[in-house]
A = this chain, B = another copy of it.
Amino acid sequence: MIDRRSFINCSATCVTSLVAASSAKAKEPELSVSSVNGYDYRRPKFKKGSRLLFQGDSITDMKWGRNQKDRNHYLGHSYVYLIAARLGVDIPEAQLDVYNRGMSGHKVRDLKARWQKDAIDMKPDWLSILIGINDVGRTVTKDKGLEEWEADYRFILDASRKANADLKLVLLDPFVLASGGLTDPSAFKAKRAIVDKLCAIVPRLANDYGAIHVKTQEFFDQAARKVSPEQWIWDGVHPLPQGHELIARNWLQAVSEATNKEV
């Protein structure tokens, strides 16, 4: 038998804790497509002063200001801006140095052509790459181009690793949803079939190069099922602000998992 005082003390703590726990539960959104817990994310760990470089096509580019002295626009308005904004508030002590060198319309071969200046010479500590959608149906068709795509991608990863053996890599799958001009089923199907092939390559590259892999197509599919494709991507290819937010949250979660694991 337990004495009354112990029980009362325990009960008070119970009540307090249960109230706290149920308040926390009440805050959870009814509909959340984010794979991050509610909206509280575990902060990634970065060495102080880390230089983060984001590379890719228009989805990354989003009109970052080529005059880098103008700090109003230096990151453009993509997931890059969202990531930098968030980390700048939540881990200001990390003093992250963020760069956007995405370029609208670029394919992997275009990255290769400018890789020395726009990736190697920039000496990043972290390199994040989202590329592929512009290759689809052009350099990579249903019959050919896949091997060359992979070879070009490996070329730039080899070059980056050679320049910096400690480079941290993040590779994002290209993606497409059936919205805008891609609501036409056969147009979408053809495009998606090729994107799927690229999405089979990126995880292999991530594995081979010790990169963090962000399953962009997967979470966009999940989000599209929960709400609609049009909620996230307006023309089949380009994310709306909330689509960029999905990319940012999943990028942060993947990087957080990887960096909080390391001892």
CB < 8 Å neighbour of A10 from B14, B29, B88, B248 = B14
**A81 in contact with B81 (CB, 8 Å):** yes
A241 to B98 CA separation, bound complex (whole angstroms):
11
Closest to A12 in B: B14
Question: Is A41 among interface residues, defined by CB-CB distance under 8 A?
Answer: yes
Set of chain B residues within 8 Å of A42, measured between Cβ atoms: 27
CB < 8 Å neighbour of A33 from B58, B92, B245 = B92
**B245 in contact with A89 (CB, 8 Å):** yes
A85 to B234 CA separation, bound complex (whole angstroms):
14
**B18 in contact with A89 (CB, 8 Å):** no
User: Copy number of this protein in the oligomer?
Assistant: 2
In the assembled complex, the CB of A90 is this many whole angstroms from the nearest CB of chain B, namely 6
Interface centre among A63, A72, A73, A84 (most CB of B within 10 A): A72
- Asked, given contacts A4-B2, A92-B231, A231-B88, whether A40 binds B27 with beta carbons under 8 Å apart, the answer is yes
Closest to A15 in B: B17
Closest to A237 in B: B72
Question: Is A240 among interface residues, defined by CB-CB distance under 8 A?
Answer: yes
In the assembled complex, the CB of A252 is this many whole angstroms from the nearest CB of chain B, namely 10
